[in-house]
């Protein structure tokens, strides 16, 4: 197996799903539909039909989005693996995407990851009653300002930074009323935009403590191997070789913010100069260009994207086609 030392694969999480996603790739690579068929058998639900026909609000339900995004990322990883023996030297995933990264790293079996992710979604949904939690994207303020505003308006409720997605883009999460207060305060402080996200779960904040406890218990019985490719985790920006370390990082992630900007920079510090987004959509590639314009960013959700990676030389430059 060839390893491309300066290449990182990154796997997206919730928010990248859409009706019709991966249709172009599925027409070219049989691994796409085959992987969705495998997942459908495990979960007893036709996931590919859901992807193809929707409706969109069904794809956005946490208990469906998480298995769908895991499956989409694994499907593209398998398609890439059928085209080339070359492997990245490091992996990372945005929130849920860490499970996809661990499947790619042969730390988790796909069917096991599907069952864990489905239960993770159920635990997250059960942790906060409907309409009592919310998330909002804040654009145009620095991290410290958003953090300070959350502290100022909390009024003994939970509201905090949940995703540090890129410089000037922070997602906040917490109790619905506190999130509303923070949105108004951010706008008053000069935010370019403060918009509530169409999610049913306030992820990556203290309200997820019951889900984190449940996930920790679930993972204690899950077979996990040392990753064959290092995975940088969002919660602590570290790689873990031990089963206990991986379990702790995955559970901690539910209550801890997704430090995506710092994750990308950690991958850069490990030598990554090229990043391949392996999953539906191009959200992480777009964020990456805001984080580091000197790196090369590729999205693999189309045959053209796959070909672009095939044309990449070992120094991270695009080779002539």
Domain with residue 182: its CATH number is 3.30.70.250
- Do 111 and 64 share a domain, yes or no? yes
User: 262 burial class (0-12, 13-18, 19+ CB within 10 angstroms)?
Assistant: middle
Query: What is the value of pTM for the model shown?
Result: 0.95
Residue 204 appears among annotated catalytic residues: yes
Domain count of the fold of the chain: 2
* Cβ atoms within 10 Å, residue 190: 9
Residue 84 appears among annotated catalytic residues: no
DSSP bridge pairs for 70: none
- The single residue of 204, 233, 240, 285 carrying the catalytic annotation is 204
The CA-CA-CA angle for residues 289, 293, 296, to 5°, reads 80
Half-sphere exposure of residue 124: CA atoms within 13 angstroms, side-chain side? 28
Instruction: Please check whether residue 316 lies inside any domain of the structure.
Output: no
Instruction: Please check whether residue 319 lies inside any domain of the structure.
Output: no
Identify the pLDDT of residue 120.
97
- Do 60 and 164 share a domain, yes or no? no
- Do 243 and 181 share a domain, yes or no? no
Q: Do residues 278 and 79 touch, judged by C-beta distance below 8 A? A: no
C-alpha span between 122 and 208 (Å, rounded) = 12
Longest distance between any two alpha carbons in the chain, whole Å: 59
Cis peptide bond prior to 55, omega within 30° of 0: yes
DSSP 3-state of 3: strand
At 135, which helix (H) or strand (E)?
strand 133-139
pLDDT tens per residue across span 116-139: 999 999 999 999 998 899 999 999
C-alpha span between 301 and 281 (Å, rounded) = 6
Instruction: Please check whether residue 43 lies inside any domain of the structure.
Output: yes
Residue 95 is given by DSSP the state T
- Do 13 and 120 share a domain, yes or no? yes
Which CATH number belongs to the domain containing residue 241 in this structure?
3.40.366.10
Instruction: Please check whether residue 50 lies inside any domain of the structure.
Output: yes
Question: At which residue do the structure tokens 């995703």 appear?
Answer: 163
Identify the pLDDT of residue 317.
45
- Do 231 and 189 share a domain, yes or no? no
Q: Do residues 45 and 37 touch, judged by C-beta distance below 8 A? A: no
DSSP bridge pairs for 160: 173
C-alpha span between 161 and 204 (Å, rounded) = 8
DSSP bridge pairs for 159: 174
Identify the pLDDT of residue 1.
62
Identify the pLDDT of residue 145.
98
Q: Kindly give the residue spans of alpha helices, DSSP state H, lying in 189-227.
A: 209-219
**Last residue in a domain, options 199, 223, 253:** 199
Q: How big, in percent rounded to 5, are the helix, strand and coil portions of the chain?
A: 50, 15, 35
C-alpha span between 91 and 275 (Å, rounded) = 9
- Do 160 and 92 share a domain, yes or no? no
Regions of the chain where pLDDT drops below 50? 316-321
- Do 93 and 236 share a domain, yes or no? yes
- Do 7 and 100 share a domain, yes or no? yes
- Do 231 and 144 share a domain, yes or no? no
DSSP 3-state of 163: strand
- The single residue of 95, 107, 166, 285 carrying the catalytic annotation is 95
- Do 25 and 11 share a domain, yes or no? yes
Q: Do residues 5 and 272 touch, judged by C-beta distance below 8 A? A: no
DSSP bridge pairs for 171: 137, 163
At 247, which helix (H) or strand (E)?
helix 243-252
- Do 150 and 98 share a domain, yes or no? no
pLDDT tens per residue across span 145-176: 999 999 999 999 999 999 999 999 999 999 99
* Residues of the domain holding 138: 133-199
Instruction: Please check whether residue 318 lies inside any domain of the structure.
Output: no
Identify the pLDDT of residue 32.
98
Identify the pLDDT of residue 320.
33
């Amino acid at each position: 197996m060839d390893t491309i030392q300066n290449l990182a694969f990154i796997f997206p999480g919730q928010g990248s799903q859409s009706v019709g996603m991966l249709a172009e790739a599925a027409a070219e690579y049989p691994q796409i539909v085959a992987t969705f068929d495998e997942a459908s058998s495990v979960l007893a639900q036709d996931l590919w039909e859901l992807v193809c026909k929707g409706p969109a609000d069904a794809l956005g339900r946490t208990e469906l989005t998480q298995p769908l995004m895991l499956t989409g990322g694994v499907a593209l990883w398998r398609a890439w693996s059928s085209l080339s023996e070359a492997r990245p030297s490091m992996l990372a995933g945005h929130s849920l995407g860490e499970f996809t990264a661990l499947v790619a790293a042969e730390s988790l079996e796909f069917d096991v990851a599907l069952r864990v992710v489905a239960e993770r979604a159920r635990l997250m949904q059960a942790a906060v009653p409907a309409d009592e939690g919310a998330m909002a994207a804040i654009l145009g303020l620095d991290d410290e300002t958003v953090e300070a505003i959350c502290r100022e308006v909390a009024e003994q409720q939970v509201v905090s930074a949940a995703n540090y997605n890129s410089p000037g883009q922070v997602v906040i999460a917490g109790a619905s009323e506190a999130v509303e207060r923070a949105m108004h305060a951010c706008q008053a402080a000069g935010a370019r935009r403060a918009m509530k996200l169409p999610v049913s779960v306030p992820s990556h904040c203290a309200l997820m403590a019951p889900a984190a406890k449940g996930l920790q218990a679930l993972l204690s019985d899950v077979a996990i191997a040392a990753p064959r490719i290092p995975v940088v985790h969002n919660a602590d920006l570290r790689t873990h070789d031990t089963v206990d370390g991986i379990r702790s990082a995955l559970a901690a992630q539910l209550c801890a913010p997704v430090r995506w900007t710092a994750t990308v920079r950690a991958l850069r510090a490990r030598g990554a100069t090229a990043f391949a987004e392996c999953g539906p959509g191009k959200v992480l590639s777009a964020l990456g260009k805001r984080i580091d314009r000197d790196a090369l960013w590729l999205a693999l959700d189309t045959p053209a994207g796959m070909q672009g990676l095939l044309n990449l030389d070992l120094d991270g430059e695009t080779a002539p086609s």
